[in-house]
Chain A
Amino acid sequence: EVQLVESGGGLVQPGGSLRLSCAASGFTFSNYWMTWVRQAPGKGLEWVASIKRDGSEQYYVDSMKGRFTISRDNARNSLYLQMNNLRAEDTAMYYCAKEEEAAAGLLDNWGQGTLVTVSS
C-alpha cells in the first residue's frame, strides 16, 4: 500500500524558512516523479513543484521559483520542500503526491498534508 507522510510544518514568522519532508513507502520511490501541492485555508488546490525520478529536473510555479526548492533522497525514500523568505500568503496545507514513472501530472496518491502558518 502506498503511504506518504508529510512532516515539518508549523508556525513561522514572515521572512523565515521551513523544510518540509515527505516519507514514502509501499512503492519503489526512485522510479516515480513526485509533486508538492498546497491548499490555502478555505481555498482550492495549487500545484507547487515537481521533481523527476532521479532529481535531474525540477519544475516550479513561477510565484515560488527562487524561494522554494524541491529535492529528493532516493536512498531515504524521502521528498523535501525547502521554503525560504516565507510570506503570509504561503500559509497553507502542503501535500506531497506520487506521480507516474514517466511523467508528472497524474498525482495518483496523496499524503495527509502538513500545515504551514506564516504569521508574526
Chain B
Amino acid sequence: DVVMTQSPLSLPVTLGQPASISCRSSRSLVYIDGKTYLNWFQQRPGQSPRRLIYYVSNRDSGVPDRFSGSGSGTDFTLEISRVEAEDIGVYYCMQGTHWPLTFGGGTKVEIK
C-alpha cells in the first residue's frame, strides 16, 4: 500500500501569517494517464471533509485563492498564504493513483 506521510501533525498559526503542510508518498503518484491523483481535504470541527485541491494544484470551486497546492512525484505541499480563522481544522492529503486509496494522517491547524 502507498503510505502517505504528512508533517507536521500539529501546526499552530498566527492569523494573517502563511502556513505550509507537507505530504510525502511512498511511491510515485503519477498514473498511466499522466495525471497525478493527489488531493487535499479540509475538515472543520464537526463537519464532513471538503475537497480543496485535486490533481496536485487545481483548486475546487469556491475555495479561496489563499489555498494553493504544489509538488510532483512523491512530494507535495499545501500552502495557505494568509491564515484566517475559518481555516482552523484538520487537513488531509490523499492519493487516488494506486489501490487501495490512502490518506495521510492529518495535520491539525490551530490558532497560536
Q: Which residues of A contact B (CB under 8 A)?
A: 35, 37, 44-47, 50, 59-62, 95, 103-113
Partner of A45, one of B37, B50, B103: B103
Partner of A61, one of B92, B100, B106: B100
Given contacts A44-B103, A44-B105, whether A106 and B54 have CB atoms under 8 Å apart is: yes
Partner of A44, one of B48, B51, B106: B106
The answer to whether B94 has its CB under 8 Å from any CB of chain A is yes
Contact B94–A45 (Cβ < 8 Å): yes
The answer to whether B71 has its CB under 8 Å from any CB of chain A is no
The answer to whether B77 has its CB under 8 Å from any CB of chain A is no
Nearest-CB distance from B51 to chain A (Å)? 6
Docked complex Cα distance between A61 and B51 (Å): 21
Who on chain B is nearest to A113 by CB? B48
Given contacts A104-B96, A105-B97, A108-B60, whether A46 and B51 have CB atoms under 8 Å apart is: no
Q: Which residues of A contact B50 (CB under 8 A)?
A: 110
Contact with A along B17-40 (1 / 0, CB 8 A): 000000000000000000001010
Partner of A106, one of B37, B43, B102: B37
